Amino acid sequence: MARLEGRVVFTPFVLPGEMVRASVDRVKSDLWRGKLLSVVEPAASRVSPLCPYYGRCGGCQYQHASYELQLQQKAEILRDVLRRVGKIEYPGDIETVAGEPWHYRNRVQLHIDKGAVGYFEPGSHTLCAIDQCPISSPKLNEAIAHLHRELPKVRPFQADIELFTNETDVQVNVFGRVPPSVRAVFNSIGVREALSYGPFRVSRNSFFQVNRFLVDRLASCVCEGLSGKTAIDLFAGVGLFARALAPSFEKVIAVESGFSAFQDLVANAPATGVQQSVEDYLPTVTEAPDLIVADPPRAGLGKHLVAELLRIKAPRLVIVSCDPATLARDLRGLLAAYRIERLSLVDLFPQTAHLETVVHLNGDSHELPHSRRPEH
């Protein structure tokens, strides 16, 4: 963010404190965007991007920053969003959980167009063709390189494709119609209905965490040190958290609406599975469990689910969020009855602007200073 003649100009690929040359365009009446032309005075934390497609490919935003700066900036962004959106002042430490910054992804979503495979360019549907991706695992890069070689040999088509790997096999999901001849290309990579990912079965239409280095640490960040009689895992997916909670609770209830994910959940976790939407399930809860874990989609919980959680008032809540803005909105409502006990940033997406947050909330009557919202 820079200022030019009193106007705020947002310019990607620039670091704090740098002097740059940029062209400036008005997007809306009060929104100006800059396009980086050159760096006149670089910051000490600027590094050379590892990816040859960086800047054209829309997958990464932070490769020009050292990993230390990325983590620092994400923690500051999280704290700032809590303050601006949720009116939440959190002066406590934000625990940072980080892993390997490269070759971490076990799942990618790619686009195929006229014999080329790649990602879309930023803010467009223009394909940036690639033959490798340095944030993807070695097995996925083998698959991407194979597609890069073989797709130009077949009849041109358009489709979206998802690749998921356990580093032994590759699962292929294709979205859209493709010529029969193309199936042989996908089969040569590997088409699996379900993969075994450690102790988890993950089917083709099921979600699983994308950072292969931090799966266990994310589960520990959410579940470690918690115990009791009953725990409820909302938006349970294939059972990552339900499985981690099972040894410490007499009963774990795992709620998941997706058919494929629910079938995996039943196979993966020693829990009581409920195939139902969280919106339909929570109103049926009449007795507060010892713990509720919620890992909602990017849209967050929303007012209805926040109200239900306040009604149930479990002594402990753990919220897992992939969007700090919706998290701040939800927390603002929950802090009417809870205090923030621990706040963790789990960097599941190095080199990108995305961040995962784990918030431990305590519902006891004692209120810590950092859980109070400022009065306006």
- Predicted confidence (pLDDT) at residue 220 exceeds the cutoff of 60: yes
CATH code of the domain containing 306: 3.40.50.150
Q: Tell me the HSE value of 297 on the side-chain side, using a 13 A CA sphere.
A: 8
Domain that holds residue 38: 2-46
Q: What is the pLDDT of residues 77-110, one digit of tens each?
A: 999 999 999 999 998 999 999 999 999 999 999 9
- Predicted confidence (pLDDT) at residue 370 exceeds the cutoff of 60: no
Average confidence (pLDDT) over 318-331: 98
Distance CA 355, CA 214 (A): 13
Per-residue confidence (pLDDT) for residue 372, from 0 to 100: 39
* 112 in the same domain as 93: no
Report the DSSP pairing between strands 107-113 and 158-165: antiparallel
* 227 in the same domain as 191: no
Structure-token pair, residue 174: 């294709």
> What Cα–Cα distance (Å) separates residue 191 from each residue in 170, 194, 196?
7, 9, 13
* 353 in the same domain as 255: yes
- Predicted confidence (pLDDT) at residue 374 exceeds the cutoff of 80: no
**This prediction's pTM:** 0.92
Average confidence (pLDDT) over 35-41: 95
* 88 in the same domain as 8: no
Write the secondary structure of 238-266 as one string of H (helix), E (strand) and C (coil). Answer: CCHHHHHHHHHEEEEEEECCCHHHHHHHH
Distance CA 161, CA 155 (A): 16
Distance CA 347, CA 282 (A): 30
Mean residue pLDDT across the chain? 93
Q: What is the pLDDT of residues 278-294, one digit of tens each?
A: 999 999 999 999 999 99
Report the DSSP pairing between strands 356-362 and 2-4: unpaired
Highest mean pLDDT among 15-29, 210-224, 359-373: 210-224
- Predicted confidence (pLDDT) at residue 28 exceeds the cutoff of 50: yes
Does residue 63 fall inside a structural domain? no
pLDDT-based confidence at residue 178 (cuts at 50, 70, 90):
confident
Distance CA 115, CA 179 (A): 12
Per-residue confidence (pLDDT) for residue 373, from 0 to 100: 38
Structure-token pair, residue 185: 């290309």
Does residue 205 fall inside a structural domain? no
- Predicted confidence (pLDDT) at residue 212 exceeds the cutoff of 80: yes
Per-residue confidence (pLDDT) for residue 27, from 0 to 100: 75
User: Is residue 64 within 8 Å of 49, Cβ to Cβ?
Assistant: yes
Per-residue confidence (pLDDT) for residue 191, from 0 to 100: 75
* 318 in the same domain as 230: yes
| Secondary structure (DSSP) of 53-91 | TBTTBSS-S-TTB-HHHHHHHHHHHHHHHHHHHH-----
* 221 in the same domain as 73: yes
pLDDT-based confidence at residue 48 (cuts at 50, 70, 90):
very high
Per-residue confidence (pLDDT) for residue 311, from 0 to 100: 97
* Structural domain count of the chain: 3
* 256 in the same domain as 184: no
Q: Tell me the HSE value of 194 on the side-chain side, using a 13 A CA sphere.
A: 16
* 345 in the same domain as 240: yes
Average confidence (pLDDT) over 114-137: 94
Per-residue confidence (pLDDT) for residue 74, from 0 to 100: 97
Enumerate residues 6+ apart whose C-beta is below 8 A from 322. 297, 298, 354, 355, 356, 357
Average confidence (pLDDT) over 176-184: 82
Does residue 55 fall inside a structural domain? no
Does residue 73 fall inside a structural domain? yes
* 141 in the same domain as 258: no
Q: What is the pLDDT of residues 335-356, one digit of tens each?
A: 999 999 999 999 999 999 999 9
